[in-house]
Chains A and B, each alone.
Chain A
Amino acid sequence: MTDDIKISIRNLYKIFGNNPAKAMKKVRDGLSKDDLLEQTGHVLGLNDISLDMHDRKIQVVMGLSGSGKSTLIRHLNRLIDPTAGEVIVDGEDVLAMDENRLRDLRRFKMSMVFQKFALLPHRTVLENAEYGLLIQGIKEDEAGKRARHWLDRVGLSGYEDYYPGQLSGGMQQRVGLARALATDADILLMDEAFSALDPLIRMDMQGILLELQEELHKTIVFITHDLDEALRLGDNIAILRDGALIQTGDGQDIVLHPADDYIADFTREINRAKVVRLRALQKPLNGAAPAGDALADSMVLEDALEVIAGAEGHIVPVKDEHGKVTGQVHLADAVAAMHA
């Protein structure tokens, strides 16, 4: 399965300060983040991060502010250089790239959406959406055509000649999204892209992103501090704290098996019915399968609950993606899972 890894991060460290190399030695000798700060004045931004990101999936990196998540995403296109470690994209070491190679990576392979939109205020919406294409060297009329297409896809046709300052936050971020999608890069880096938006607009934007992803199948690295958002978007979720990776897995793993109290605190407020899938609850068949139509094992509890409650004996069979019945779920287990 290694060929399906798009981005691979290996033992990545980032130390902020005057002499990171010296501080690095101390970190390798086992100095903790707090001791490092106290003894040398250096800040350990990322601490031995290793993470594989799958092709065509949404990888969420979650953490509170100061956890290093924005630092991490900037290593992928080397807006920040690491102190030690490797970042490998499509089998190529990003850190070994010279200036031209790196520029090509940024132009053609990765594009980025920013928390505060970072649009060019002196250019119109259309010109902003064209930006990446013009940098790629694409002729203006072709770039304009493509930019219009993407503006239309994010629901902004009619606003081409406005300036970013004339639009609401949600609309500005749609421009940011169109700008990033227009370059046709395989990898989309989204740094807290929806965090600055109102909750309703945020939901709306998440919906747009998921809808686009169903069709585009890009590799998306999505940074957020919001677990709800992480669970809604992420095929895989990595949780960072104080610059260290403390848990990786899919949403259900994180909710059902939090690695420590820190994550358990996060997950307490979550509506589990939206996250837990039947796959995690099913018990082996006990002789014949129960009566009734089998439910897909990828179905979340929220959708399945009503069916289970209405089923004969409050028990339903569960089938895998090939349609084979693999187990059964009882209402009691389902209800228990919601409050565990």
Chain B
Amino acid sequence: MEFLTEFPSLGRKDLSALRRAIDGTFREFTRAWGETIEAIFYPLLKFLVWFEDLLLATPWPIIIVVLCGLAYAGARSWKITFGAGVCLMVIGFFGMWEDTMSTLAIISVATFLCILVGIPLGVLMARYDRAQSIITPILDVMQTIPSFVYLIPVVMLLGIGKVPGLLAVCIYALPPIVRLTNLGIRLVDKQVMEAAEAFGASYKEKLFGVQIPLALPNIFAGVNQTIMMALSMVVIASMIGVQGLGVPVLRAISNQYLALGLMNGLAIVALAIIFDRVSQTYGKRLQAYRETGHD
């Protein structure tokens, strides 16, 4: 009856041999390609550092004015703009200005990267069912695999620093924009697509003239989700050397500083709310044509 009570697993020796083999192979891959891969990401690092320095070097009143301006341009709402201004003032007042700027820098770059990669991927998925059936499970893995697990190979490959942190954030934040771009395009009214087809529109004309404009509200919901998820990765990214609001939170955890953790945590929340409200109202404005008149 031993067969029923003991799972017929691989022996301890075989298992450790297997693990060693995988680790060894990856380590060799790291040694062979680590520098090349680092070189590929070097421009990204330069950009990130430049952007962070820019945010830190710019006098705070200018940053607040620019951010409030962006908030107003996006949301066209004085309430949201005013709220954003007050939040930023409070953050600065409690001494978190520099960390907030660092976080802002990495979130902006990560979101930009995700849009750059995510929208074309979503378009590809919407065009080919094949691509959809391949990419969907990969997105599932990216969203559900515990972050620490993919931090291991990323750190092995690129060490500790901004770029691996950025990659970790992107891995987690990319799926929503891909999914919602795909969904948005697939939800475009079939009859409108047929009309475009009947007038002889090419694939490009259909994509840029009909599908993407009509999918924009959904794409924007994806951008919104991507920003939210990127913000939620701030603390984990700080474990592998990314500056920002995550660092004090991490310190607060290990030293049981309740107030420090709470303040920095709330600063992240404040950033999240600003981004969320601005991008959501902007997304709603994009579909204003839907709400006028009758159906």
Contacts and interface: CB of A to CB of B under 8 A. Distances in A.
Interface stretch (B78-86, B88-96, B121-129, B193-201): B193-201
A135 interface: yes
Nearest to B293: A166
Interface residues of B, number: 23
A165 B289 contact: yes
A116 B292 contact: no
Contact of A165 (B201, B205, B290): B290
Nearest to A108: B200
B2 to A, nearest CB: 50
A189 B199 CA distance: 11
Contacts of A112: 195, 198-199
B295 A114 contact: no
A275 B258 CA distance: 89
Given A122-B289, A168-B294, A79 B198 contact: yes
A104 B200 contact: yes
Contacts of A167: 293
Contacts of A104: 200
B191 interface: yes
Interface residues of A, number: 30
A118 interface: yes
Contacts of A103: 200, 202
A131 B191 contact: no
Contacts of A183: 199
Given A119-B192, A122-B213, A166 B292 contact: yes
- Name the prevailing secondary structure of the B interface residues: helix
B191 A114 contact: yes
Nearest to A102: B200
B295 A165 contact: yes
A107 B199 contact: yes
Contact of B200 (A107, A116, A118, A166): A107
Contacts of B197: 79, 106
B56 interface: no
A215 B210 CA distance: 33
B64 interface: no
Contacts of B294: 165-166, 168
Nearest to B205: A135
A122 B209 CA distance: 10
Interface string A96-125: 000000011111101110101011111000
Please report whether the interface of chain A is mostly helix, strand, loop or mixed according to DSSP: mixed
Interface in A119-161: 119-122, 131-132, 135-136
A103 B214 CA distance: 23
Interface in A159-187: 163, 165-168, 179, 183
A77 interface: yes
A163 B199 contact: no
Interface in B155-206: 189, 191-192, 194-202, 205
Given A165-B289, A165-B295, A121 B199 contact: no
Contacts of A163: 289, 292-293
Contacts of B209: 120
B198 A165 contact: no
Nearest to B213: A122
B28 to A, nearest CB: 48
A108 B201 CA distance: 12
Contacts of A77: 198
Interface string B222-249: 0000000000000000000000000000
B199 A118 contact: no
A166 B295 CA distance: 8
Contact of A135 (B189, B192, B201, B293): B201
A131 B199 contact: yes
B210 A120 contact: yes
A106 B200 contact: yes
A79 B190 CA distance: 12
Contacts of B293: 163, 165-167
Nearest to A104: B200
Interface in A254-312: none
Contacts of B292: 163, 165-166
Given A165-B290, A166-B293, A121 B198 contact: no
A118 B190 CA distance: 9
A225 B37 CA distance: 65
3 A-B pairs with least C-beta separation: A107-B200, A106-B200, A166-B293
Given A111-B199, A118-B195, A165-B292, 13 more contacts: A79-B197, A106-B200, A108-B200, A110-B198, A112-B198, A114-B191, A114-B195, A116-B191, A119-B195, A120-B210, A135-B199, A163-B289, A168-B294
11 contacts: A106-B199, A107-B200, A112-B198, A121-B189, A122-B289, A135-B200, A165-B290, A165-B293, A165-B294, A166-B293, A189-B198
